[in-house]
Each structure stands twice: as structure tokens, then as C-alpha cells.
Amino acid sequence: MLDPAIENFLSERKAARIKKNLKPGISDQERRAIELEATEFFRLDNWLPDAAKRAGWLSMLSHPGKFTHPSAKTSAIIAEARPKPDGFLRTGNADTDLDVLGNAAALDVHKFLSLTLTDGQTVLAHLEQTSAAIQTQFELSTLPFSELQQGLLAIKQSSDTAKTSEKIKQVYFPVGDGYHLLSILTPSGLMFKLKEAINVLRFSDEAKQAREDRRHQVHNEQGFAELYNLSVIGFGGTKPQNISVLNNQNGGTAYLLPSLPPQLETRAIQPPKTGFFSDSLYYKHYQDSFKALHRLLMVNHNTIDIRDGRDYWISSIAEQIIEKVWQFRQLPPGWSDATNLPLAQKIWLDAAYNEQRENQDAWLDEIIRAIADWFYIAYEKTVGKDKAVFLGDVELAHIRTVLGAMQEDLR
């Protein structure tokens, strides 16, 4: 018995061939001839030896050069690397498909070799293992199994000589006193594996349902995950098949994950006129942090986690202030001349005082005290005077200690 997958493969192609050759208005006799020809053509005894001849027109590989440049011709590498929890996205650390390059007239051979048989293994895997099952399946009157096997497995043979291309990025990497020269290739299977994973997040029925539920504010047990700011890259324009089989299957596009720092605030800023704390810090911007701090202040017990949590929010507010400070330091030096800022603040904020800022400390003590005072007021303002926990000398001293530890960050 022929495996149903193989059976289907052949009968589908047979039907397609008949359909293609049947022209309207032909005689019954001609129709029978066409059907007979197709039946003969797709008899395993005939088709398989032909496929074995054509398998060599294709090559399976893991890293096609054409993803770098459509005319880059490189060796058909099949990379093998063992999985390891080494923290890298790389070949070996994910299950991937091999890609295929070559003559389009032989792509059906690749499809055939990729068929999954009833035992869950592919034809190709069976051939590579020379399994008993496949030997039985492929017992032909026309060609001995060994020749058939050799022919079909030609799809995985790479040439003897390694070949790179000037179209490929070739990178020198220092090793000891010399270098290694690396031709950088694209693992297309891994790239499209990532695409598949992202598409599951975006388009799976579960994800769609969960999004729908959120829109209607209905509970959904699984929830969903979202990736923002993806880019899409195209390979081969309107002819993705010119790049590779996997590329064609993926419509010639893959996703790129964003790898960007946060945007620094570049909007025009108003320099303070009389005081940094009153003119430049808006309580609203610090509301979330103060509220989080407030929740921890409300807790009665005093574990190390609670203390760490409080310190975290104090320093994160200070960090927000530091980022603000650097905006003013970008302004043309001397801008504070026209203001009534206290000297300590001028030193802190105006690039004209860079030297004093580095070499003196008195101004910094003053600034840290001023930040602690602002903390006291800002906390009350953002949380509400009636709700705020009273910050006594002990608490203020602690805030000054946390800020003091950040002295060099604040400088």
C-alpha cells in the first residue's frame, strides 16, 4: 500500500495535468489518450525515477546568499549547531525549516520529499535513514532503490568547494594576532520562524478573540500579547520566487523588531526665570511616581521589600529630574545670566558653569536639600494634603540620604 500522502500527491498532480490538457470540444478518444498519458506519467514507477533525476537541480540549504543580494551565488550551506541555553537567537536554538534554491521545474520534487508520511516523518527523513518503510514504498520495477535514494538525496549535496561572493558582506574579525574573514549569510528558516511566531501573536484566532473581548471589556482567560513598532522588509520585490522557496512561501517579506533607544525630549523648552523647582517641574508629570510611593508609605509593616520599594520610587523621581536638568544644559551657555536663579541652580543647569559644577561641592549640597524640600511639597500636592502621610524629620532625612547616594548622578 502506498502511503496516503504519496498517493494524494500523485493523484492531485495527475488530475491537474489532465485538466490542463483537456481542451473544449475534443473527442472521447483524445480525452482517453490524455488520461492514459497522465496515469502513466504519474505512476510511481515512472515519476519517481524522473524526480530522482531532477532532485539535483535543487539544493536545500539553511543560509541562502540571495537574501543579501539577488545575484549573490554562495555555497549551499546546511548549518548544524546544537541547542544551548546561551542567550542567543541563532541556528540551533530554534526548530527551523531548510530553504530551497534552484530550478523552478523541480520544485515539485522538494514538495514530494517534504511530504509527511503516516508515521509523522517526512519522505526525506526516511530516505536519509534508509528506513525499511521507505524501501518498501519505493520498490520499483524501473530503478533500484539505492540509485533512487542517491538521486533524490542529491538535493542535500553541497558542492565540494566553498564559494562566497563580493555581494556578501565579508567581515574581518580579530582573532589572536590575526583575523578570520566571515561571510555573513541570512538564516532564512530562522527569520521566517520569527515571522511565524509574530503572526501567531497578531492573527491567531485566540489572539483575535482576546482583542475583541478587550474591545468590549469582556474577560478573556488567556489575554493576548502585542508587539509594537514592527517594520517589514521585502526580498525580491514582485518576484519573491527568485530569492528562495521559503521567501516565496512567505510572500517575500519578513518582520524586523525595533532596536531603538527611547526618544530624548527635544521639544523647545522654556528655561526657568526665578527658580527651577517652581518654574520647570510640573507636579502632574510626577504624579504616578508619587502615588506609587504613597501606596508604600501607607503600608504599616516595614520589610526590606517595602523599604527597597520606597527607595526605588524616590530615585526614579530623582531620575526624572536629572533628565530635565540635561535639557537645560543643552541650551546656549550663559542663558541663566538673564534670570534670577540662585547661584547653585545656575551652576547646576547652565553649561557656562561646567567647570564649577565639576570641581565644587557646596552648590550640590544646596541642590540636594532643595530637592528634598520639593519632595515634601510635591508629595502633598500630588497625593492630596488630606491623604498624604506626614513626612517627619526621619522621613526627610531618609530622602536626603537616598538623594545623597545619587550625588554624582545629580551633579
Q: Which of positions 349-388 make contact with another protein (CB under 8 A)?
A: 358
The distance of Cα 338 from the centroid of its chain, to the nearest Å, equals: 50
CB 333 within 8 A of CB 351: yes
Tell the smallest beta-carbon distance from residue 41 to another protein (Å).
34
SS3 122: strand
Residue 190 to residue 81: CA distance in whole angstroms: 13
CB 117 within 8 A of CB 5: yes
- The region of 50-58, 88-96, 136-144, 390-398 touching another protein under the rule CB under 8 A is 88-96
Q: Is residue 81 a contact residue for another protein (CB under 8 A)? A: yes
| Residue 185 CB-density burial (10 A; 0-12 exposed, 13-18 middle, 19+ buried) | buried
- The region of 36-44, 76-84, 338-346, 390-398 touching another protein under the rule CB under 8 A is 76-84
Cα dihedral: 348, 349, 355, 358 (round 10):
40
Q: Is residue 292 a contact residue for another protein (CB under 8 A)? A: no
CB closer to another protein out of 198 and 396: 198
The radius of gyration of the chain's CA atoms, rounded to the nearest angstrom, is: 35
- The region of 9-17, 83-91, 341-349, 386-394 touching another protein under the rule CB under 8 A is 83-91
CB closer to another protein out of 22 and 225: 225
Residues 202-231 that bind another protein (CB under 8 A): 202, 210-211, 213-214, 217-220, 223-231
Q: Is residue 323 a contact residue for another protein (CB under 8 A)? A: yes
Selected from 95, 160, 205, 386, the binder of another protein by CB under 8 A is 95
Instruction: Tell me, residue by residue from 124 to 163, as one string, x for binding to another protein by CB under 8 A and - for no binding.
Output: -------------------------------------xxx
Residues 293-322 that bind another protein (CB under 8 A): 319, 322
Sign of CA dihedral 403, 409, 410, 411: positive
Phi, psi of 122 (to 5 degrees): -85, 160
Q: Is residue 68 a contact residue for another protein (CB under 8 A)? A: yes
Selected from 259, 270, 302, 303, the binder of another protein by CB under 8 A is 259
Tell the smallest beta-carbon distance from residue 268 to another protein (Å).
11
Tell the smallest beta-carbon distance from residue 328 to another protein (Å).
11
Residue 19 to residue 31: CA distance in whole angstroms: 10
Specify the pairing of strand 170-175 against strand 99-102. Answer: unpaired
Residues 21-60 that bind another protein (CB under 8 A): none
Cα dihedral: 20, 26, 27, 30 (round 10):
-40
CB closer to another protein out of 136 and 170: 170
For residue 329, give the amino acid letter: R
CB 351 within 8 A of CB 329: yes
Selected from 5, 6, 18, 79, the binder of another protein by CB under 8 A is 79
CB 243 within 8 A of CB 99: no
SS3 14: helix
For residue 256, give the amino acid letter: L
Q: Is residue 104 a contact residue for another protein (CB under 8 A)? A: no
Number of chain positions touching another protein (CB under 8 A): 106
Tell the smallest beta-carbon distance from residue 140 to another protein (Å).
36
Residues 161-200 that bind another protein (CB under 8 A): 161-167, 170-176, 178-187, 190-191, 193-194, 197-198
